Every structure is written in C-alpha cells, then in structure tokens.
Amino acid sequence: MPTGVAIRDVREQLFAAAERVLLRDGPNALTSRAVTTEAGCAKGVLHRHFADFDAFLAELVLDRIREVEALGAALRAAAGTGTVVDHVSAALTDLFGPVALGVLGLVASRDALRARLRHTTPVGIPLLTEAGGVLAAYLTAERELGRLTPDTDTDTLAFTLIGSGHLLFAGHEDTPREAVRKVVTSVVAGAVREP
C-alpha cells in the first residue's frame, strides 16, 4: 500500500487478516509480516497502532472476548424462553466456531500472550474462562426463573459444558448439532426442571 494512503478501520482489517492467517495456516504461521501481507498494508501500519506484535495478539484475543460477552448478553436475555438445552447447544456452537478455536490454539501456543492476558484473565485459559462465565450467568438466570433446580451449581455446570463443548469441536471440521445437543442434554439432565 502506498505511503500516506489512509486505511479505514485499521484494527478491524488487521484482526480480520490475522483470523484468515490463523484459520488457513495455524497459530505458528501468525507473524506480523503474515498479518500485514494478508491485510495488504506495510508492516509499519501494525506497529503504528500497537506497541508490538504481542500487544496486537492480546488485543485480538480481547476483541474475541468482547464478542463472547456480547453473546452472553443475548443469551441472558433469552432466559425463560425456549428450552435450556436449545439455548446452551446454540451457545456452544457459536462459542466454538472456527475463529474461536483458532484463537484458543494461539493462546495455548504462546506463553508470552497468556502472560500478557493475565491482567484480564488471572486464572484459567483466556476466552474459555470468559465463555464459562457467560454460560454460568445464563444458567444462573434460568435457575432464578425456576427452570433449573434451586441447588444447581451453575459455575460447575457451565465449566463442564465448556469443557465438553471444547472437546466436541476441537480438531473437527464440522461437529453435528445433534452431537452437541446430545452432550448438553446429558450434562444438564439432573438440573433442568420439566415444565
């Protein structure tokens, strides 16, 4: 790209380019040069907007965490409607899309990135921890509405669902919705109150 030409929404363009590289080539191929080449801009563009490449990667993960939190708000708003199994199954399918799995691979493979993210996610795995929190908040809302048993440990249930969901989706090109629903139905069976 010629010098002096303004790029609209630089952060979003760089994030989208990073996601494409991540999905196509995996976390080890994600370099500042790969991202800027994919975005069609000079390498200096990334460094003008981020202190270094690790800062860029941290912001990429935080951006995905914000998406998970937005999903959580919509999920909590749906409490009391439909079925718990349907909502949780759909949430897991959304949470473990290809980009999220790629970002999780990135977080797992880069110690410096995890260390940088400790200020927002002091324990657990960034993105998975926030996804568990979002699911726990939804399940708590359902428990308060009487759709889950009063003694349901929503934190434990949420993290069990997140772990199961991650195992269902990791390494698979296309996880059938029926498989997700089967696992969710089994995991929440003792907690869901029949209407």
If you average pLDDT over every residue of the chain, what do you get? Answer: 91
Predicted pLDDT of residue 195:
65
Task: Return all residues near 56 (Cβ < 8 A) that are at least 6 apart.
Answer: 14, 18, 32, 35, 46, 49, 50
Model confidence over 72-85: pLDDT tens digits?
A: 999 999 999 999 99
What CATH architecture does domain 1-49 belong to?
Orthogonal Bundle (1.10)
- Split at pLDDT 50, 70, 90, the class of 20 is very high
Spatial distance between the Cα atoms of 42 and 65, rounded to a whole number of angstroms: 27
Model confidence over 91-119: pLDDT tens digits?
A: 999 999 888 999 999 999 999 899 999 98
Predicted pLDDT of residue 8:
58
Residue 4, pLDDT above cutoff 70: no
Please give the residue that has the higher pLDDT: either 155 or 43: 155
Q: Coil, strand, or helix at residue 192?
A: strand
Predicted pLDDT of residue 136:
98
CATH 1.10.357 residue spans of the chain: 65-188
Residue 173, pLDDT above cutoff 80: no
Handedness of CA 10, 52, 32, 58 (dihedral sign): negative
Lowest model confidence (mean pLDDT) among 46-50, 58-62, 182-186: 46-50
Predicted pLDDT of residue 1:
41
Contact 143, 152 (CB under 8 A): yes
Tokens 């995890």, residue? 114
Predicted pLDDT of residue 140:
98
DSSP state of 124: S
CATH 1.10.10.60 residue spans of the chain: 1-49
Q: Coil, strand, or helix at residue 3?
A: coil
Handedness of CA 97, 98, 99, 103 (dihedral sign): positive
Q: What is the CATH number of domain 65-188?
A: 1.10.357
